[in-house]
């Protein structure tokens, strides 16, 4: 009897027609049976947002002959929720892969990322999950250097699983030949926002948000260092945001509620 192929859920935040998700689908087809649920249009920067107060729709589309594909009117997290509950009907896929994002999701960017939030939602559902991102915003970005790494990371996750509550944040540098893989911690950085203020025809102010990425961490064990030096970075991420180290200190406080 032929061995059953793994079931693979593919999502993203750049939209179902993005080049990155096409590459991810093609690589995952080599590993298992692929199902795609992705936003119908770009959803970058939506973080872990979900749709409340208006209908959610998914529509079947046909691009690849052996791939079940749906476009979704909602956010990347909506896509995962609908996939698990309506497409897989409660069954869990063997892996959830999100991306490949056009643009990095390293360091603090992980908190804003729709790509990574989709992977986080997969992990919350108990599915081994990975988010992939590449340092190129171009619609026609060349993902050739990423392909073998994407396939190998997914292959390893399928073979070994991931610790409970943990997912992987994988980022690729924009270089012709990636040197290898570095297991990293998330670099300490922040965005310094800049607001370009303008005035509309009714004399009301509006703003375009821009910003400068400020790195506060020069450690050679970080994702930023790995990427700057030509390596793919892999950061294990957890969705339990409890600051466990702070609990003893807070327990020492005297709360006098009157």
Residue 62 lies in a domain: yes
Give the domain extent around 16.
7-186+220-251
Residue 197 lies in a domain: no
Is 44 labelled as part of a ligand binding site? yes
Confidence (pLDDT) at 90: 77
Is 14 labelled as part of a ligand binding site? yes
Q: Reduced to 3 DSSP states, what percent helix, strand and coil does the chain have, rounded to the nearest 5?
A: 25, 30, 45
Quote the number of domains for the chain: 1
Residue count of the chain, please give it: 258
Q: How many CB atoms lie within 10 A of CB 128?
A: 23
Confidence (pLDDT) at 222: 97
Residue 162 lies in a domain: yes
Residue 73 lies in a domain: yes
Is 254 labelled as part of a ligand binding site? no
Confidence (pLDDT) at 3: 76
Confidence (pLDDT) at 258: 86
- Give the tens place of pLDDT for each residue, 120-140: 999 999 999 999 999 999 999
Q: What CATH code is carried by the domain that includes residue 233?
A: 3.40.1210.10
For residues 105, 108, 110, 114, the Cα torsion angle rounded to the nearest 10 degrees is -90
Confidence (pLDDT) at 142: 97
Residue 53 lies in a domain: yes
Taking alpha carbons only, the member of 225, 236, 191 closest to residue 210 is: 191
Confidence (pLDDT) at 245: 96
Confidence (pLDDT) at 2: 61
**At how many degrees (to 10) do helices 147-160 and 19-28 cross?**
50
Residue 201 lies in a domain: no
In the chain, the N- to C-terminal Cα span, in Å, equals: 71
Question: Any idea which residue has 């959610």 for tokens?
Answer: 56
Confidence (pLDDT) at 237: 98
Is 120 exposed, middle or buried, given 0-12, 13-18 or 19+ CB atoms closer than 10 A?
A: buried
For the entire predicted model, the pTM comes to 0.94
Is 166 exposed, middle or buried, given 0-12, 13-18 or 19+ CB atoms closer than 10 A?
A: middle
Is 171 labelled as part of a ligand binding site? no
Residue 212 lies in a domain: no
Residues of the chain with pLDDT under 50: none
Residue 114 lies in a domain: yes
- Give the tens place of pLDDT for each residue, 69-112: 999 999 999 999 999 999 999 799 999 999 999 999 999 999 99
């Amino acid at each position: 009897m032929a061995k059953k192929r793994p079931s693979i859920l593919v999502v993203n935040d750049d939209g179902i027609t993005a080049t990155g998700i096409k590459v991810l689908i093609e690589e995952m087809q080599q590993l298992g049976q692929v199902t795609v649920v992705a936003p119908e249009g770009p959803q970058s920067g939506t973080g872990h947002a979900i749709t409340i107060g208006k209908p959610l729709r998914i529509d079947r589309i046909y691009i690849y002959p052996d791939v079940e594909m749906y476009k979704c009117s909602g956010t990347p997290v909506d896509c995962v929720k609908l996939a698990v509950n309506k497409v897989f009907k409660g069954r869990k896929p063997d892996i959830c892969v999100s991306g490949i994002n056009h643009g990095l999701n390293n360091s603090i960017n992980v908190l804003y990322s729709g790509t990574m939030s989709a992977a986080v939602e997969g992990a919350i559902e108990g599915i081994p999950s990975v988010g992939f991102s590449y340092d190129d915003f171009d619609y026609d970005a060349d993902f050739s250097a990423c392909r073998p790494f994407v396939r190998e990371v997914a292959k390893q996750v399928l073979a070994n699983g991931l610790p409970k509550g943990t997912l992987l944040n994988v980022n690729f540098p924009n270089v012709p030949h990636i040197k290898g893989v570095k297991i990293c911690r998330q670099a300490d950085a922040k965005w310094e926002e800049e607001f370009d203020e303008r005035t509309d025809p009714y004399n009301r102010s509006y703003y375009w948000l821009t910003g400068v990425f400020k790195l506060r961490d020069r450690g050679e064990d970080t994702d930023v260092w790995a990427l700057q030096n030509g390596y793919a970075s892999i950061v294990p991420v957890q969705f339990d945001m409890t600051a466990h180290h702070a609990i003893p200190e807070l327990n020492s406080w005297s709360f006098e509620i009157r």
